[in-house]
Structure 1
Amino acid sequence: MREVSFIKQNKEKWLSFEKAVFNNDFKDPDELASQYIHLINDLAYAQTYYPKSKVIIYLNQLAAKAFQKIYKTKREDTNRIVGFWKTEVPLICYQYRKFIYIAFIIFFVFTSIGVISAANDGEFVRSILGNNYVNMSLENIEKGDPVAVYKSGSNWGSFIGITINNLRVGIIAFVLGVFLGIGTIYIMFKNCIMLGSFQYFFYEKGVFWESVRGIWIHGSMEIFAIVIEAAAGLILGASILFPATHSRYTSFKIGAKTGIKILISTFPFTLSAGFLEGFITRYSNIMPHWLSVGIILITLSIISYYYLIYPYKIQKEITQNPHLNLSNI
């Protein structure tokens, strides 16, 4: 069958199914599951005979959304919370993966601007970080402990204060996405410029490695989580700018709901980063190099796997096994 005929034959069925999924128009969960299986069969057919067709992208996204709907209509049990992080969020991350990639591109570009600016303007770091912070850091470097600032305060006090601040930054980055994503980009710009100039400052003073061993013990999860939260803000902004086949209000509701789920998924990582900063980072200068590097690599690997690799694994399982028992994924 030619691709045009395939699309023409199934177009009405897909559009009807899409409308029912997005508008919660299925009264019978079994009917939704049955239609989902038909959709997966169409997707498999398209992948076989039209591997370069854009219809595959459309059916893939529709299938992911339908799966989320089926999953939610199942009777809730004690595994519902686990299922949120194990299945629902990874599927959302796969569906909106382009926004995550864009958020990382923005992160690297803005951080590079901070580095370049600090390298070419001797006063730039002070204008960004403030004279008091720079002077304090210079004193700590002279004392042989560049990251001594992380040893101030009690363990629990640091943990609670830092975690609250990081949660606040993430929530603001998401919420400001309502301004067509511009607010989110501003938050990214502000924080990335600070990060880039901050790291260059330590490089310029010859203590870059010491700063990395200290800062990135907690920074791997902390910064990564902020990037994911920014992606959620971009999704919110895009839902207003590009409503596609939905009304702008409906698209906004979908974007807000999706973004909030991604935002919530970052909270355990933000809490973990706060714990590491409050209880572990303060000992970075006395712990073996292999231990500090190991913590950095392990934390970075965990959060990278969850948001960048695991979503592909879940999507592949669903695509290849449409009859899979959803509660056991």
Structure 2
Amino acid sequence: MREVAFIKQNKEKWLSLETAILNNDFKDPDELASQYTHLINDLAYAQTYYPKSKVIIYLNQLAAKAFQKIYKTKRQDTNRIIGFWKTEVPLICYQYRKFIYVAFIIFFAFTFIGAISAANNAEFLRSILGDEYVNQTIDNIESGNPMAIYGDGSNWGSFVKISIHNMKVGALAFLMGIFGGIGTLWVMFQNCIMLGSFQYFFYEKGVFWESVRGIWIHGAMEIFAIVIECAAGLILGASILFPATHSRYTSFKLGAKTGIKILISTFPFTFFAGFLEGFITRYSNIMPNWLSVGIILITLSIISYYYLIYPYKIQKQIIQTPTLPSV
């Protein structure tokens, strides 16, 4: 069968399934199971006979959405909670992986701009961080403990305060996506400019390594999570600007729901980063290098695996599994 005929023959069925998933119009789980089975068969056929066709991408995405819906209809509530982080979020991250990649590209670009700006303007850092913070950090560097500022306050107080602050930043980055993604880019710009100029400041003072092994103990997860939250904001913005085949309102609802799920998925990482900053970072000056570097690499590996690698494994598992999970 020619590809055009294949698409024409099945197009109405695929669009019907997509609309039903979007509107949550499934009263009988068996109905969804049956349609999912047919969809997987169509995908396998397309992969065999039209390996370079764009229809494979569409069917992959539709299969991912159908699989998520199947998990939602499971009877066990505990499985629903586990399935959210184990399957649903990774599938969403796979489907919207380009937004995550774009968010990281923008992150590195903005951070670089911050570092270059600080290097070419002596007053730039003070205008970003404030005289009090800069002066206090200079005093800490001169006293031999560049990371002393992280030792202020109690462990629990710092943990709670920092975690709440970072959650607010993440939520703001997502919600500002409602302005077509421009608001999200502005939040990202502010934070990246601060990060880039802040790191250059330590480089200029000759304590760059000390800052890296201290700040990034908690920063690996904290900054990574913020980038993911900004990706959620970009998804929200794109859903408004580019509704594709949906109405703008329907596209917005879908983008908002997707973005909220991604935002919620970052909260455990944000809390753990807050814990590290409140309880561990303050002792970085007395830690051996292997311990601080080990913490940084482990935390960065965990969150990188979850958002960048694990989604591919889940998607591959779905495509290669010919049978339907029980519902």
TM range (shorter): over 0.9
Between 292-301 and 59-68, the greater mean CA deviation after superposition: 59-68
Cα deviation for residue 177 of structure 1 reads 0.7
1:198 matched to 2:182: no
Match of 1:86? 86
Cα deviation for residue 244 of structure 1 reads 1.1
| C-alpha distance after superposition, 1:83-121 (max 9, x if no partner) | 110111111111111111111111011001001111111
Match of 1:268? 268
Aligned length: 327
Distance 2:258 2:250 in 1: 12
TM-score under structure 2 normalisation? 0.98
Cα deviation for residue 326 of structure 1 reads 5.7
TM-score under structure 1 normalisation? 0.97
Indicate if the aligned counterparts of 1:93 and 1:307 stay in contact, CA closer than 8 A.
yes
Distance 2:33 2:210 in 1: 55
Match of 1:73? 73
Flag the 1:166–1:216 CA change in 2: closer, same or farther, 3 A. Answer: same
Question: Partner of 1:234: helix, strand, or coil?
Answer: helix
Distance 1:314 1:143 in 2: 50
Letter in 1 for 2:165: N
1:155 matched to 2:155: yes
Match of 1:95? 95
Distance 1:193 1:221 in 2: 18
Distance 1:122 1:21 in 2: 55
Cα deviation for residue 25 of structure 1 reads 2.2
The equivalences for 1:1-329 within 5 A come to 1-325=1-325
- RMSD, matched Cα: 1.1
Distance 1:152 1:246 in 2: 51
- Gaps (5+ residues) in structure 1? none
Distance 2:178 2:53 in 1: 33
Distance 1:19 1:80 in 2: 23
Question: Partner of 2:52: helix, strand, or coil?
Answer: coil
Indicate if the aligned counterparts of 1:236 and 1:252 stay in contact, CA closer than 8 A.
yes
Cα deviation for residue 190 of structure 1 reads 0.2
Indicate if the aligned counterparts of 1:71 and 1:326 stay in contact, CA closer than 8 A.
no
Question: Partner of 2:53: helix, strand, or coil?
Answer: coil
Cα deviation for residue 81 of structure 1 reads 1.2
Distance 2:34 2:178 in 1: 36
Flag the 1:174–1:326 CA change in 2: closer, same or farther, 3 A. Answer: farther
Distance 1:256 1:284 in 2: 39
Indicate if the aligned counterparts of 2:74 and 2:80 stay in contact, CA closer than 8 A.
no
Indicate if the aligned counterparts of 2:71 and 2:80 stay in contact, CA closer than 8 A.
no
Between 195-204 and 69-78, the greater mean CA deviation after superposition: 69-78
Between 20-29 and 231-240, the greater mean CA deviation after superposition: 20-29
Letter in 2 for 1:104: F
